[in-house]
Amino acid sequence: MKLKKIFILLPDGIGLKNFAFTSFAGLGKKMGWEVVFWNATSFDLEKMGYREIKLQGRPRAKTDLLKRAKITAELDLFTRKFNDPVYQSYKFRNPSKRIKEKVKNMLVSHYVFYNSSENGLRGLRKGMQASEKKGNYYRDCLEVLKKEKPDFIFCTNQRPVTAIAPLTAAKDLGIKTGTFIFSWDNLPKATMVIEPGYYFVWSEHMQRELIKYYPFIRNDQISITGSPQFEPHFDPTLRRTRAEFFKENGLDEDKEYICFSGDDVTTSPYDPQYLEDVAGAVQVLNQKNYNLGIIFRRNPVDHSDRYDPILKEFEDIIVPLDPKWKEYSSGWTNILPTQKDVELQINTILHTKAVINLASSMVFDYVAFEKPCLYINYNVNSGKSKDWSVEKVYNFIHFRSMPSKNAVFWLNSKEEIAEKLKLVLSATPEDLEETKKWFQKINLHPPQEASQRIWEEIERIISISNGGND
């Protein structure tokens, strides 16, 4: 009996953690699928025992301009349609010091001006596909698909312009296509660049969002599956004992540790100040016979030296455990996760009491282990940044999904950090009921069965004799 063949499309490195470093591919093989990674990244999947085909080529320059215009026009439409200015805060402003960039920005503005309606956006989406069909990248994708004849193309991320050509080629050949919505905060940001036949979402909440922002998508095109990113949390083979983890990472077994999870410089430009404030609070508690330390896990793509003075000043309290990502070339999109970092993150959660951050989805990773999260909720360095504040961050659409403000512990000032730390050190599972409700709203439970649900939905889609790519 001929195996069904799936192409798992990796248009960038974002999908590695969910679909290469979990049991996803292995589960597909057990279910009778030939699994092939169509890989645009520098990561060598053959070393992991997978079959891969390197995705050759790159999108046309015009397609990227149309993508930028589509995102801007869509955010403008959302602002008008939902009477909410928050969508304007999702816009990314490209620098325009060089003549070339100024010309590009002018072209984007031109496209936005003439395509800011629903019909105009439909034209931009079709325009991106039409643009790609004129390039060698599309023709190369077409040849690969004609040769390999996969039954389904599963795109791991809806955002990259790199994915347009392979999915358009598949559609033109009558191959069914689907995409996974990568993150819980993506849909309000107008990040939907591709237009496949099917959509895999985390929850009913995300399904409602998808239809709200893209009303042309039908309910029967949407599968609610949860995200595989939480599955490794429930894999006992990835866990280390406290003694092993502490020895490997130079930690003091007599201490209890809190994790400070860093953000990128755009999300939290004053992160070093927050880390300093937390370290100062820990210092005060230790003078009162607590014995605490901080594990500092920086954002994987933040290789800056902005934390260095704080790490030096509090070297007796803070232990940095840098994410084990690998940089293949310059640019944050070429910094890719590794399997070792999955283990590092899991054991950091397992062996710390709580996590502190500003607005991070680590709240869900920690509640999966029945551990609390503290959200930083006060401004520092007032007046230095007119474009940034904690109020602006927590006003983003995805935080409106909180069932109540009690879903996290709030650090509303530097002065209350020590007292809030004392609270989380004695937190019980009952204190996390609202956090659990939030997690269940955001991601279908049980979370460890997401891959199984995705495969079952793919098989259901394949069994449908028509539809899906219309």
Q: Is the dihedral of CA 177, 180, 185, 186 positive or negative?
A: negative
Question: Does 236 have pLDDT greater than 60?
Answer: yes
Q: Tokens representing 76?
A: 């403008």
For residue range 78-100, what is the model confidence (pLDDT) as tens digits?
999 999 999 999 998 776 678 88
Domain boundaries of the chain, sorted by first residue: 4-58+135-227+448-463, 61-129, 234-442
Spatial contact of 335 and 326, defined as CB atoms under 8 Å apart: yes
Q: Is the dihedral of CA 24, 26, 27, 28 positive or negative?
A: positive
Question: Does 469 have pLDDT greater than 70?
Answer: no
Q: For position 327, what pLDDT does the model report? A: 81
Place of tokens 């077409």: 142
Would you say the CATH fold of 234-442 matches that of 4-58+135-227+448-463?
yes
Q: Tokens representing 141?
A: 């994708």
The burial of 386, by beta-carbon neighbours within 10 Å (0-12 exposed, 13-18 middle, 19 or more buried), is given as exposed
Spatial contact of 128 and 165, defined as CB atoms under 8 Å apart: no
CA separation (Å) from 132 to 110, 163, 167, 175, 179?
20, 10, 10, 18, 18
- Prediction pTM value: 0.95
Chain-centre distance of CA 47, in angstroms? 25
CATH number of 4-58+135-227+448-463: 3.40.50.2000
Query: Does the N-terminal peptide bond of residue 188 adopt cis geometry, omega within 30 degrees of 0?
Result: no
146 contact partners, CB below 8 Å, separation of at least 6: 173
Q: For position 382, what pLDDT does the model report? A: 59
Q: For position 93, what pLDDT does the model report? A: 74
For residue range 27-44, what is the model confidence (pLDDT) as tens digits?
999 999 999 999 999 899
DSSP 148-184: H--SEEEES-S--GGGHHHHHHHHHTT-EEEEE---T
For residue range 255-277, what is the model confidence (pLDDT) as tens digits?
999 999 999 988 899 999 999 99
For residue range 157-172, what is the model confidence (pLDDT) as tens digits?
999 999 999 999 999 9
For residue range 379-425, what is the model confidence (pLDDT) as tens digits?
997 545 678 899 999 999 999 999 999 999 999 999 999 999 999 99
Q: Tokens representing 288?
A: 């009162």
Q: For position 102, what pLDDT does the model report? A: 86
Q: Helices marked H in 218-368 — which ranges?
A: 242-248, 271-286, 308-313, 339-350, 362-367
Tell me how far apart the terminal alpha carbons of the chain are, to the nearest angstrom.
29
Q: For position 386, what pLDDT does the model report? A: 72
Say how far apart CA 37 and CA 366 lie, in whole Å.
30
Question: Does 330 have pLDDT greater than 70?
Answer: no
Q: Tokens representing 247?
A: 């020895």
Mean pLDDT of the chain: 94
Fold of 234-442: Rossmann fold (3.40.50)
Q: State the pLDDT confidence band at 333, using cuts at 50, 70 and 90.
A: low
Give the residue, 207 or 385, on which the prediction is more confident.
207
CA geometry: angle 125, 128, 131, nearest 5 deg: 145
The burial of 218, by beta-carbon neighbours within 10 Å (0-12 exposed, 13-18 middle, 19 or more buried), is given as exposed
Say how far apart CA 120 and CA 116 lie, in whole Å.
6
What is the rounded average pLDDT of the residues 321-329? 85
Question: Does 201 have pLDDT greater than 80?
Answer: yes
Q: For position 470, what pLDDT does the model report? A: 43
Q: State the pLDDT confidence band at 467, using cuts at 50, 70 and 90.
A: very low
- 48: β partners: none
